[in-house]
Structure 1
Amino acid sequence: MDMNFLLAFIPVSLLLEYVLHAPPLWVFAAATIAIIPLADWLRKATEQVAARAGQTIGGLLNVTFGNLAELIIAIFVLLGGNVTVVKAQITGSIIGNALLGLGLAILIGSFGRARQKFSGANAGQLNSMLFLVVVALLLPALFDLTERLPGFEAGSAAARDNLDEALSLGVAIVLILVYALNLVYTLVTHKDVFALEDEPHEGELWPVWKAASVLVGATALIALESEMLSGALEASSAALGLSPFFLGIIVLAVVGNFAEYIAGSYFARQGKIGLAINIAVGATIQVALFTAPLLVIISYVIGKPMNLVFGSPLELVAIVAVALIVTTVTKDGEATWFEGVLLIAVYLLLALSFFFVTPRQETRLPTPPPALTATPLHAPTAT
């Protein structure tokens, strides 16, 4: 399906935002639609790179460029002081990529095929990383809970928040190091085990400069549209009668990762289910082990400190559910259409839960009073 006609929404969104100063809901809708064809061009460029560098490198590039848009959206929302929405966006990306993205890829790729087979070794490595994600994101929440129990009280709320921030910084550094070592393990020292089987590319290959230009250009435009989308978030949520929390965990997460959804489904349809799994589950792992920790570090740089304490039990249950069901579906090295349905069904159940939950309103982060600006500890943030 040719989606190039949707590129018209790029100038439309710019016109609505900067010339007509249209209602935020209009800008939000136009920017959301504009990202769809840009994500498709990102997929096309990634396919061209994969044809030259191999499916393994191509999948990594697709995940990285797709999550770059996600990172940029989160930074703009973080600059606005809405930490709860940023955390919701992280959770939404994790469950969206692993459940919705992978479910769609398996379902679409199964049309006309009884089953799709892929590398069990590669799936096993991805599943091991998923369980590291569970431990890494549960630990700060359990630590925060422990500090509230009798006999373990950290003291004042400010002291507890500082401990949460210190632990989150430590966890962030460890996760980034592990993610980097994982790349060395799968792409360098054990690349013969995890390399995907490359297939001849159909059609004419683009010049390298064209593929690189499309990757950079599409990512830049996605970032621009994401900035407008995030700026219209709160007003749009009020107009739609939805909480910013729900828009963050469902809408922003889906929009920010749309490139992975398109690419995964396309490659699965082409019979490259191994590449589709690498994109879907790899994007989940990169968000949890690289994007989220990087946001913690960036939050300190920009003066809006954020920790990794996910206060909603639903978010923690969702993260555990992702690891369990993805491992169950992929452990045998093959997938059928009904397993794709199961993944999508779990995503819809979680989305319904997030739709009806009513989180407390996140307040914007206060500016520290002059007396605190000289101290090394940050002012407490709402989590």
Structure 2
Amino acid sequence: MEVVESAPFNNSSSAFDLESSPIIVPKSFKFSTVYLVLIKAKINVLLPFGPFAILLHYLTPKLHGWIFFFSLIGITPLAERLGYATEQLAFYTGPTVGGLLNATFGNATEMIISIYALKNGMIRVVQQSLLGSILSNMLLVLGCAFFTGGIVHHNKVQVFNKAAAVVNSGLLLMAVMGLLFPAVLHFTHSELHFGKSVLSLSRFSSCIMLLAYASYLFFQLRSQQNLYSPVHEVADNSEISDEEEELELTKWEAIVWLAILTAWVSVLSGYLVDAIEGASESLNMSMAFISVILLPIVGNAAEHASAIMFAMKDKLDITIGVAVGSSTQISMFVIPFCVVVGWCMGKEMDLNFQLFETTTLFITVLVVAFMMQEGTSNYFKGLMLILCYLIVAASFFVHVDPQNDDD
């Protein structure tokens, strides 16, 4: 609710004085919020591609490549706007919860796409897209944030909370362990019950990983809050005034827009998933490259924008919370959650991501853990992470899933 202040009468002694008789108007009905969310940002010029993809789906359903392409473009501004609404909501929650909210709603796109793909029985698409999201966040998003932050603040060393980074690295290594054992068990032919032991182990490990992530949330938000306090706790008045100028939405407006944008992403995700296989054939690209590289780049648009923005403002604690925290959430929550959802659906979704994918994840986690162990950042570290992602992208461009898992 907002008091609308206007002065239609110049006579100060008018019988109808707006200051003494304010008009109460719900702010949600104002055009300004629609302008801020759907019009102001330059990336919103891509919003019409979403409805156009749906229209193309019903008019010419055989053009899978174009439907996939337009759906991909249409989801990009929605993912970025999700990040904007989450950022506005984070002003009311503080940096710790704000980073968690950015990671959660930043992963909403990946989770929705995964559930649609899982419903259609496309288990490999689910596995590879979630793996790609982890790789993209840890290498591309974090690398771009370190690089741009290092360029902007080239005259000083940027620092972040080392303790929080170590905890996130430990959780990522635990997630690698959860994915590694089912793959090794399968490819060494050491299952007690062939074809069933890997699935049972995956479901058990998923429950353990969900429990570990819940414990991590309690540890982060309740038990050890001081561990996650930003390195620069004292902000000067100029920084406070800058944050106040950036606050554009109320808490409830941010929540409503998050719900609207998430619903629209879910609609477009259905058309995107339906067109993946046809797009792979028409574009002559492997399903692995589309799932691991193209889908996550779109899904991580929110994290990408938020991480770079906070790094440029020398708020690396929030950057780490967005980029690495998002990877932790996908590996420890979204992937086990999809296994449990597939269990409920009767789909044999497991943690056997195949040897090539699991090895890539293991090496990536080690590289990022070494980059963050000092608690400092510079543009060279960011450049190294970006170059590592280019190697990963090239590897998946030439990688094709074997017809037989044992090949």
Measure, in 1, the Cα distance between the counterparts of 2:60 and 2:250. Answer: 39
Structure 2: which 5+ residue stretches go unaligned?
1-40
Measure, in 2, the Cα distance between the counterparts of 1:382 and 1:294. Answer: 27
Bigger radius of gyration, 1 or 2? 2
Pairwise CA distance, 1:250: 1.2
Match of 1:122 among 164, 183, 187: 164
Partner residue, 1:143: 185
Partner residue, 1:195: 229
Match of 2:209 among 148, 169, 175: 175
Pairwise CA distance, 1:355: 0.9
Residue identity (%): 35
Measure, in 2, the Cα distance between the counterparts of 1:217 and 1:268. Answer: 28
Pairwise CA distance, 1:22: 6.2
Pairwise CA distance, 1:119: 1.0
Letter in 1 for 2:222: V
Secondary structure of the residue aligned to 1:161 is coil
**Contact map agreement 1:39 1:262 (CA 8 A) in 2:** no
Measure, in 2, the Cα distance between the counterparts of 1:106 and 1:221. Answer: 32
Measure, in 1, the Cα distance between the counterparts of 2:84 and 2:399. Answer: 38
Pairwise CA distance, 1:99: 0.7
Partner residue, 1:270: 313
Measure, in 2, the Cα distance between the counterparts of 1:68 and 1:166. Answer: 27
The 1:305/1:382 distance shift into structure 2, 3 A limit, reads: farther
- CA RMSD across the alignment: 2.0
Measure, in 1, the Cα distance between the counterparts of 2:122 and 2:50. Answer: 26
1:329 aligns with 2:363: no
Structure 1: which 5+ residue stretches go unaligned?
363-380
1:75 aligns with 2:118: no
Letter in 2 for 1:224: V
**Contact map agreement 1:110 1:336 (CA 8 A) in 2:** yes
Secondary structure of the residue aligned to 1:254 is helix
Q: Please show how residues 31-110 of structure 1 align to structure 2 within 5 Å.
A: 31-110=71-150
The 1:162/1:382 distance shift into structure 2, 3 A limit, reads: farther
Provide, for residues 117-162 of structure 1, a one-character-per-residue CA deviation record: whole Å limited to 9, x for no partner: 111111111111121122111121122234x1xxx463xxxx3111
Pairwise CA distance, 1:19: 4.6
Q: After superposing the two structures, state which structure 1 stretch, 21-30 or 192-201, moved more.
A: 192-201
Pairwise CA distance, 1:225: 1.6
1:230 aligns with 2:273: yes
The 1:153/1:234 distance shift into structure 2, 3 A limit, reads: closer
Alignment length, in residue pairs?
356
The 1:342/1:179 distance shift into structure 2, 3 A limit, reads: same
Q: Please show how residues 234-383 of structure 1 align to structure 2 within 5 Å.
A: 234-311=277-354, 313-361=355-403
Secondary structure of the residue aligned to 1:360 is coil
Letter in 2 for 1:178: A
Match of 1:211 among 251, 254, 266: 254
Partner residue, 1:186: 220
Partner residue, 1:132: 174
1:166 aligns with 2:197: no
Letter in 1 for 2:218: V
